[in-house]
Amino acid sequence: MADKDQAGHGSAAGNQASRLAVIAIGSNIGDTLSYVRGAVAAIAALPGISVQKVSSLYQTEPAHVKDQDVFTNAVMTVLVDDSVSALELLHRLQAIETDFHRVRHEHWGPRTLDLDIIDIAGEISDTEELRIPHPYALLRDFVVSPLLEIEPDYVLADGKPVSHEAVEYGFVISVNDFGSNG
């Protein structure tokens, strides 16, 4: 497996083969801004993964269940070394979710942190364990808005361009810089 120093030199550098992936981060319990920032740091520390871009932090309306607190969401792009399969990436993200849930699991329930793979360039998966492109990505403003912020012309692996056109729920309430507490 590539170590982290090598991971930054993806296919763009012509050095080590990798592909771009889009990860969506969400939290609506506790210190959501810290959880989202902590998740970005944890993902950045994964071997074979190199962070490309991270969106602002978006406060968004809870989807479906209206009596929940607002969410903090962000989207990031990473280069994933070809030695790391899509399922391995998913399992690593799940391990990060578990780490965060452990912090306050009993009291705060399962939504401390949700990490979804939205897309991996050139890869389609339609199993229960991993569906990519994420089937609801284009319906969710909390995915579409931050993704378009960092990749305005992004096209999913199934050829669908990302746009606001099909958005149905999870609308953005406000946007903060990644580093600000406002």
148 token code pair: 């378009």
Q: What is d(CA 147, CA 133) in angstroms, rounded to the nearest whole number?
A: 13
**Active-site annotation holder among 81, 114, 119, 141:** 114
Q: What is d(CA 116, CA 137) in angstroms, rounded to the nearest whole number?
A: 10
**For Mg ion, which is the closer residue by CB, 126 or 165?**
126
Binders in 104-163 for Mg ion, by CB under 5 A: 114, 116
- Contacts of residue 146, defined as CB under 8 A and 6 or more positions apart, other chains included, come to 24, 55, 56, 58, 73, 74, 75
* 101 forms part of the interface with ligand ADP (CB under 6 A): no
**For ligand ADP, which is the closer residue by CB, 57 or 90?**
90
180 exposure class (CB count in 10 Å sphere: 0-12, 13-18, 19+):
exposed
> Which region among 12-20, 37-45, 53-61, 124-132 touches ligand ADP (by CB under 6 A)?
124-132
> Which region among 35-43, 50-58, 109-117, 170-178 touches ligand ADP (by CB under 6 A)?
109-117
* 92 forms part of the interface with ligand ADP (CB under 6 A): no
Q: How far is the CB of 68 from ligand ADP (least distance, A)?
A: 12
Question: In this structure, are residues 120 and 154 in contact, taking their beta carbons and an 8 Å threshold?
Answer: no
Quick one: which of 135, 145, 151, 133 has its CA closest to 170? 145
Q: Which of 5, 67, 106, 129 binds ligand ADP (CB under 6 A)?
A: 129
* 116 forms part of the interface with ligand ADP (CB under 6 A): yes
Write out the residues near ligand ADP by the rule CB under 6 A: 90, 114, 116-117, 129-132, 134
